[in-house]
Amino acid sequence: MSWLSRVVRPKIQAVLRKRDTGDSLWQKCPACDQMIFHRELSDNLGVCPGCDHHMRITPQDRFNALFDNAHYEMLPTPQVMADPLKFRDQKKYPDRLREARHNTGRDEAMSVAQGEIDTLPATVAIQDFA
């Protein structure tokens, strides 16, 4: 392999390689189909500037917007039993729990945090419907 192949080819490929504009930079509003830049959407707290549709936001984003200076402490939630009611359905309940925990990256659907809202102490619980 010549030096042209080893040195020049990777540089040319790097230049020609598609840059990552990414789907993560833009989000489409489900209500009005407007494409919104992610920074504009986060600056607007998840509300579409075109039609005022409220997008889903994570519990952490909600806590950051709610508490003074985005300063709060997450509180632990109690561990639940695997299947306290012996629930029967098309899927076993423990399998549903495992899948939901895998999809959300959380152990519980409820997140609880403690902090201050307008200098008053507050404890807030937020349910994640993802």
Per-residue pLDDT of the chain (130 residues; tens, 9 = 90+): 566 667 667 777 776 665 555 557 899 999 999 999 999 998 898 899 999 999 988 888 899 989 999 999 999 988 877 788 888 889 888 888 888 888 888 888 889 999 999 999 999 999 887 6
Q: How far apart are the first and last CA of the chain?
A: 52
Same domain, 30 and 65: no
Same domain, 117 and 96: yes
Same domain, 51 and 97: no
DSSP structure class, residue 58: -
Domain count, the chain: 2
Report the DSSP beta bridge partners of residue 27. Answer: 36
Question: How far apart (Å, rounded) are the C-alpha atoms in residues 59 and 77?
Answer: 14
Domain boundary among 55, 70, 104: 55
pLDDT at 37: 93
Establish if 8 belongs to a structural domain: no
Establish if 99 belongs to a structural domain: yes
**Largest pairwise CA distance in the chain:** 70
Same domain, 34 and 62: no
Burial of residue 21, with CB atoms counted within 10 A of its CB: 0-12 exposed, 13-18 middle, 19 or more buried: exposed
Question: How far apart (Å, rounded) are the C-alpha atoms in residues 101 and 120?
Answer: 33
pLDDT at 21: 55
User: Which residues, other chains included, contact 27 with Cβ-Cβ below 8 Å and sequence gap of 6+?
Assistant: 35, 36, 38, 41, 55
Q: Which domain holds residue 31?
A: 18-55
